[in-house]
């Protein structure tokens, strides 16, 4: 029997078929379009999200030789907000993507009114347009008749997992898991339920919200016409939490960083939430058998997206793979610093109004120097997150960072990351950790995969990058970075 892992991300929809012992049999991927109707706005077409997901799932199954499927696992871009009509199943607006900043003024006003401490105490999050709550309210306020329809119970809200579950089950199941719920700014992460107080604050009718379940368990069945027979959906987690599971970070103190469109570092804090004093997020890492495990999270809005900018915005590269070779050719005498605040700065700064800046330009600056500065920006931002975690008193086990995501294929980037952090960076043999986590959760829910302690033994190292940079150079480089961020802010 095989497991279908659906990985619906910000720039593409992907599907993997894995054996029941979690060996990858096939992969399929389709890019999806991003829409930018205004500065700082980012949208997706929910129907394209669904159609691309269905297409890659069928393609992956065919590539694998149409094996019998035991279960489906879903992992997804988090916070991205879809609102649809329960009767017709049609979205009433494009999906508002997690990167979108259109509700920055709303968040600033709520912060000025003194609401942020209570929001953080309840949800573990900060008042920021990143999260779903203000996106939902914006749709209800800007689509004719939407608020009244929501109050009547005619509209459904979901993060992308809920939207896919709805479509997979032909509208029979309106569900989410605890990790995705914890990213909406509407969920009480200690009580383990939707917060009426937060719903009232953000003007979101409770009737719109999905039922919240564990990460491993039943989420309905995919309708038979999709994959030849009804297949149970048995695992769901937001992409960063799925990567945490896929990296086998089940012990308190273990840390992983995933480098996709953005970068997200999660530190397992066990069965107790740690409340950050350095503007990190307190979130749910996973919930199994009704018991939540918590994490500290730092979110970087732009990681792999900076390489996309080099390719699509500036046209200095034709493909992402060229970036490493360019960086290696860069003039070592030029101290270029790029702060990629294209959609604001994430943790630990949380400045949605910040915009990107380049420091140290000279007449001889060219594509190679830009490429190097772009890749280095990812390492510097990661160091900011790890330092904030340590400042919060969280134990970072054995001072090793486990990494995954597309950017980890670049040895140059991973070596710089180790150098600027001053700690080893471990890249696993299986770098598809987000999909692996979704598949594991589905297999666990279906009774095919072992408990976490046994799954940890499966994790294997591909390569460890040890720091080589002298301490004085490391300190000087990061000082330049911090001064550049301060100027940007």
Q: Is 240 annotated as a binding residue?
A: yes
Is 19 known as a binding-site position?
no
Q: State pLDDT tens for residues 186-206.
A: 999 999 999 999 999 999 999
- β-pairing verdict for 401-404 and 255-259: parallel
79 in a labelled binding site? yes
Q: How many CA atoms lie within 13 A of 372 on its CB side?
A: 19
Q: Which pLDDT does position 395 carry in this prediction?
A: 57
Higher pLDDT, 393 or 310: 310
Supply the pTM of this predicted model. 0.86
Mean pLDDT of 261-288: 90
Using CA atoms, how far apart are residues 305 and 262, in angstroms rounded to an integer?
7
Domains, the chain, in order of start with CATH, read 2-239 (3.30.420.40), 248-488 (3.30.420.40)
Q: Is 86 annotated as a binding residue?
A: no
Note the maximum CA span of the chain.
64
Cβ atoms < 10 Å from Cβ of 391 = 13
Q: Each residue of 3-36: pLDDT tens digit?
A: 999 999 988 999 999 998 889 999 999 999 999 9
Residue 11 assigned to a binding site: yes
Rounded CA separation 216/234 (Å): 6
Q: Is 153 annotated as a binding residue?
A: no
Q: 105: annotated binding-site residue?
A: no
Q: Percentage of the chain surpassing pLDDT 90?
A: 69
Measured CA to CA, the distance from residue 155 to residue 166 in angstroms comes to 13
The least confident of 280-294, 306-320, 327-341 is 306-320
- Looking at residue 393, its pLDDT comes to 67
Residues 458-487 pLDDT 10s: 888 999 999 999 999 999 999 999 999 999
Report the pLDDT value the prediction gives residue 409, as an integer from 0 to 100: 86
Is 65 part of any known ligand binding site? Answer: no
pLDDT of residue 396: 52
On whether 81 is known to bind a ligand per the annotation, the reply is: no
Consult the annotation and say whether 390 binds a ligand: no
Give, as one character, the DSSP assignment of residue 206: G
pLDDT digits (tens, 9 = 90+) for 128-141: 898 999 999 999 99
184 known member of a binding site: no
Distance of CA 114 to CAs 109, 120, 210, 220, 473, Å?
9, 11, 29, 41, 42
Q: Is 329 annotated as a binding residue?
A: no
% of the chain exceeding 70 in pLDDT: 99
Q: 304 labelled as ligand-binding?
A: yes
The residues near 199 (Cβ < 8 Å, ≥ 6 apart) are 186, 205, 206, 209
CB 253 within 8 A of CB 395: yes
Residue 35's nearest CA partner among 10, 64, 15 is 10
């Amino acid at each position: 029997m095989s497991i279908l892992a659906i990985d619906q991300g910000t720039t593409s929809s992907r599907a993997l078929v894995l054996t029941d012992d979690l060996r990858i049999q096939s992969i399929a991927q389709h890019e999806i379009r991003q829409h930018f109707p205004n500065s700082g706005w980012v949208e997706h077409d929910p129907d394209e999200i669904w159609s691309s997901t269905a297409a890659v799932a069928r393609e992956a199954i065919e590539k694998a030789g149409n094996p019998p499927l035991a279960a489906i696992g879903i992992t997804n871009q988090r916070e991205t907000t879809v609102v649809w009509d329960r009767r017709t199943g049609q979205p009433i607006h494009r999906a508002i993507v997690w990167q979108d900043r259109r509700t920055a003024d709303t968040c600033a006003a709520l912060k000025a009114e003194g609401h942020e401490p209570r929001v953080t105490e309840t949800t573990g999050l900060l008042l920021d347009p990143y999260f779903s709550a203000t996106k939902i309210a914006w749709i209800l306020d800007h689509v004719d008749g939407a608020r009244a329809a929501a109050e009547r119970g005619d509209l459904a809200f979901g993060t992308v997992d809920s939207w896919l579950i709805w479509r997979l089950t032909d509208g029979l199941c309106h569900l989410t898991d605890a990790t995705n719920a914890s990213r909406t700014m509407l969920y009480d992460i200690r009580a383990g339920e939707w917060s009426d107080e937060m719903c009232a604050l953000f003007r979101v009718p409770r009737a719109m919200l999905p039922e919240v379940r564990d990460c491993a368990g039943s989420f309905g069945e995919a309708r038979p016409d999709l994959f030849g027979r009804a297949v149970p959906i048995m695992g769901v987690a937001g992409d960063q939490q799925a990567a945490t599971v896929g990296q086998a970070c089940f012990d308190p103190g273990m840390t992983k960083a995933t480098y996709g469109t953005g970068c997200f570092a999660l530190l397992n804090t066990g069965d107790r939430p740690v409340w950050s004093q350095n503007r990190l997020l307190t979130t749910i890492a996973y919930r199994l058998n009704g018991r939540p495990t918590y994490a500290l999270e730092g979110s970087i809005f732009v990681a792999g997206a900076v390489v996309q900018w080099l390719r699509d915005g500036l046209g200095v590269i034709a493909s992402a793979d060229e970036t490493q070779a360019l960086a290696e050719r860069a003039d070592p005498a030029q101290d270029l610093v790029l702060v990629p605040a294209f959609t604001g700065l994430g943790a630990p700064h949380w400045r949605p109004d910040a915009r990107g800046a380049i420091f140290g330009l000279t007449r001889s600056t060219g594509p190679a120097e830009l490429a190097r500065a772009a890749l280095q920006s990812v390492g510097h931002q990661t160091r900011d997150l790890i330092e904030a975690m340590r400042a919060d008193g969280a134990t970072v086990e054995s001072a090793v960072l486990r990494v995954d995501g597309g950017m980890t294929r670049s040895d140059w980037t991973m070596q710089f990351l180790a150098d600027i952090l001053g700690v080893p960076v471990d890249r696993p043999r299986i770098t598809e950790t987000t999909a692996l986590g979704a598949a594991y959760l589905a297999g666990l829910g279906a009774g095919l995969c072992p408990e976490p302690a046994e799954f940890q033994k499966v994790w294997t190292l591909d390569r460890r990058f040890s720091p080589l940079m002298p301490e004085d150079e490391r300190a000087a480089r990061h000082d330049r970075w911090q001064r550049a961020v301060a100027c940007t802010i």
